Chain A
Amino acid sequence: MSVLIDKFDVFAGGFWLTLQICFLAAIGALILGAVVAVLRISPVPPLRALGTAYVTVFRNLPLTVVMFFAAFGLPALGSNANFLRIPGLDAVFSRLGTDLPYFRFALIALSLYTAAFVCEALRSGVNAVPPGQAEAARSLGLTFGQNLRYVVLPQSWKASIVPLGSVIIAMIKNSALVGFFGVIGDLSQTADQLTSAGGYAFIPVAIGISVGYLIMTVPLGALLDRIEKRQAVAR
């Protein structure tokens, strides 16, 4: 078990990178997922079809395949995902601005994939709001946007928050794949580095990275439980 102490800096570095990836991918997935959810519940049929097509594709493909397309398909199309080199943001998340595109590719893949699940979590929340609410809002003359913003979303939020949290927790665990698609030094790639090249026994290293993932996921789960309890009172 001495590897946990001897190589603490390696674990910590891996933890930090995974946290960065998850933080950025979660933001991307939440924004994109919300957009897709709006598409799927919009009154315009072509937009609904677009949203449904998105969810059908990205929810049903394995993440590895999505990662593969991001890492090898985008370069083939001539893109290095440079639009993600957001000034200011790349000062905090240094990997975002490097010449090496794989961090950005991984973010794109994780965000696209997770957005499909975010969309469905949001939509299930919207579906939980009694239809009478939206009908009443419409009869008051609210537009589709106003209807969502002032009537439906504030109520659907309560029903969405827990499944949404599960989606993000799943995404954190899914991020373990990025080390196999060109991103060096994330938490699970750290395990590879220590066990295979470093020659450390697998089990202590696996325990080390498990602790790393648990530090990210358990507080998130606890937070969700709290929010859920609060809302139970508010209802």
Chain B
Amino acid sequence: MRFKRVAAVAAAATLALGMAACGGDDSDEGTGAGSKSFAAGSTMERLNKAQKIKVGTKFDQPGFGQKGLSGKPEGFDVEIAKIIVKELGIPEDKIEYVETPSKVREDVIVNGTVDLVAATYTINDKRKERIAFAGPYYEAGQNIMVRKDDTSITGPDSFKDGTKKVCSVTGSTPIEEIKKYVKDVATQVVPFDTYDKCRDALKSGQVDAVTTDNVILLGYIAKDEASFKMAGDNFTKEPYGIGVKKEDTDFRNFINDVLEKAMQDGRWKKAWDDTAGKFGATLGDAPTINRY
């Protein structure tokens, strides 16, 4: 009798284990309400129960978040967001993407319009006053794009003599950064609302350079190698992070754990190779997660 009971328990246990293992091949493994257990009252639990999540990203950033013919944004930011969402136990198709141009990113997080923002979002102290960052998951840097035949610009210091004109997007971090190098902002810095316009102004000779994060410039150079080239190395460090609510430390820690895991198991690199990596941009080493 006693033996029988032990055998029965063992058989039941084997059966249970076997069933759990069976689910392993399914791509939506472990999604669904209650599929993962999170601390009661946490953001992760709330999102998992709701089985939907709002992700803020860019719709116009080649390689990072660009809305194409498929109707859904595609890019490295989007892939990173998908990795996080999956770890929350929510299937990919339950993500609602919200376009978050640079200007509105803090506001949509503070107002709760989105649950997280992955939108080429540079981590800096000023922004940390209003929101919190998980990551970084990529380290970009500001660089300068010039016409192919131009040898007079070799780096940001080339703007110090006051003759070279440089273009960037209005209200962006790079335009504020390059202002430190130019002699006279009024005669040297040209703002447009999109980088496409900067590229056209560069091509037609109205400006001598376009400056912004290297990955964006690489996208343009990849499309028109005959006209443009990079001038020198990155001269800033722009660590991209995931923006979440300032007080939500649990959620931030959770995302940090997910990112760390993804960097180790290759999902991070695969996300890059499938998206921005196609433009020839190099990924570099995995950045160290900053748990502040």
Residues of A that sit less than 8 Å from B by CB? 71-72, 75-76, 94-95, 98-102, 179-185, 189, 191-193, 195-199, 201-202
- A192:B187 contact, CB within 8 angstroms: no
Bound complex: CA of A101 vs CA of B189, how far in Å? Answer: 12
Closest-by-CB residue of B relative to A180 is B193
A9 to chain B: closest CB distance in Å? 13
The 26 sampled A-B contact pairs (Cβ below 8 Å) are: A71-B197, A75-B204, A75-B205, A75-B206, A76-B204, A98-B187, A102-B190, A181-B192, A181-B193, A181-B197, A182-B191, A184-B170, A184-B189, A184-B191, A189-B171, A192-B103, A192-B170, A192-B171, A193-B175, A195-B103, A196-B102, A196-B103, A197-B176, A201-B106, A201-B107, A202-B104
Residue with the highest number of chain B CB atoms closer than 10 Å, among A180, A185, A189, A199: A199
> What residues on A are CB-neighbors of B6 within 8 Å?
none
Contact, CB under 8 Å: A189 / B170: yes
Docked-complex contact A99 and B187, CB < 8 angstroms: yes
Q: How far is the CA of A199 from the CA of B172 in the complex (A)?
A: 10
* Distance of A181 Cα from B204 Cα, bound (Å): 15
Extra contacts besides A180-B192, A198-B176 (20): CB < 8 Å? A71-B197, A72-B197, A75-B201, A75-B205, A98-B187, A100-B186, A102-B190, A102-B206, A179-B191, A180-B170, A180-B191, A182-B192, A184-B170, A192-B171, A192-B191, A193-B171, A196-B103, A199-B127, A199-B129, A201-B130
Cα(A33)–Cα(B122), bound, Å:
47
Interface string of B189-226 (1 = CB under 8 A from A): 11111000100110011100000000000000000000
Residue in chain A with minimal CB distance to B104: A202
Residues from chain A with Cβ under 8 Å of B104 in the complex: 202
Is the pair B206, A195 in contact by a Cβ cutoff of 8 Å? no
A191 contact set on B, CB distance < 8 A = 171
Please, which residue of chain B has its CB at the minimum distance from the CB of A99?
B187
Q: Is B102's CB under 8 angstroms from A184's CB?
A: no
A99 proximity list for chain B (CB < 8 A): 165, 187
Given contacts A72-B204, A192-B171, contact A202 B107 (CB under 8 A): yes
User: Nearest chain A CB to B128's CB is how many angstroms away?
Assistant: 9
Q: Which residues of A contact B204 (CB under 8 A)?
A: 72, 75-76
Give CA–CA (A195, B200) in the complex, Å: 26
Q: Which residues of B approach A to under 8 Å, CB–CB? A: 102-104, 106-107, 124, 126-127, 129-130, 165, 167, 170-173, 175-176, 185-193, 197, 200-201, 204-206
- Of the listed residues B130, B187, B201, the one surrounded by the most CB atoms of chain A closer than 10 A to its CB is B187
| Chain B residues, CB < 8 A from A201 | 106-107, 130
**Known interface pairs A75-B204, A197-B171, A199-B129. Does A100 touch B187 (Cβ–Cβ under 8 Å)?**
yes
Q: A94 — which chain B residues lie within 8 A by C-beta?
A: 186
Chain A's closest residue to B173 (CB) is A197
The answer to whether B172 touches A197, judged by C-beta atoms less than 8 angstroms apart, is: yes
Partner of A196 from B130, B165, B171, B197 at Cβ < 8 Å = B171
Asked if B103 and A198 sit within 8 Å, CB to CB, the answer is no
Task: Report the bound CA distance from A86 to B173 in whole Å.
Answer: 35
**Nearest CB of chain A from residue B132's CB, rounded to whole Å:** 13
| Complex interface: chain A residues within 8 A of B205 (CB) | 75
A195 to B130, CA, bound (A): 12
Are A182 and B176 closer than 8 Å at their CB atoms?
Answer: no
- Assess the B200–A198 pair: CB atoms within 8 A: no
Q: Are B185 and A185 in contact (CB under 8 A)?
A: yes
**Interface pairs A-B: 3 shortest CB-CB:** A192-B171, A196-B171, A199-B126
Shortest CB-to-CB span from A189 to chain B, Å, is: 5
- Residues of chain A contacted by B189 (CB below 8 angstroms): 184
- Flag if B186 contacts A195 (CB, 8 Å): no
Cα(A75)–Cα(B167), bound, Å? 16
Q: Are A100 and B165 in contact (CB under 8 A)?
A: yes
B233 to chain A, nearest CB (A): 22
| Minimum distance in angstroms from A150 CB to a CB of chain B | 45
CA–CA, A193 and B185, complex, Å? 13
CB distance from A70 to the nearest CB of B (A): 12
State how many angstroms separate the Cβ of A131 from the closest Cβ of chain B.
Answer: 48
- The reply to whether B171 and A183 contact each other, CB–CB distance below 8 Å, is no
On whether A184 and B176 interact (CB within 8 A), knowing A100-B190, A179-B191, A202-B104, the answer reads no
A201 to B126, CA, bound (A): 11
A100 to B165 Cα, complex, angstroms: 8
Could you tell me the distance in whole angstroms from the C-beta of A181 to the nearest C-beta in chain B?
Answer: 7
Q: Which residues of B contact A98 (CB under 8 A)?
A: 186-187
- How many whole Å from A78's CB to the nearest CB in chain B? 10
Whether B186 pairs with A185 at a CB distance below 8 angstroms is yes
Name the contact of A195 in the complex, choosing from B124, B171, B190, B193 (C-beta under 8 A). B171
In whole angstroms, how far apart are the Cα atoms of A185 and B184 in the complex?
12
A84 CB to nearest chain B CB (Å):
15
Q: How far is the CA of A94 from the CA of B185 in the complex (A)?
A: 13
Which chain B residues border A193 with CB–CB below 8 Å? 170-171, 175-176
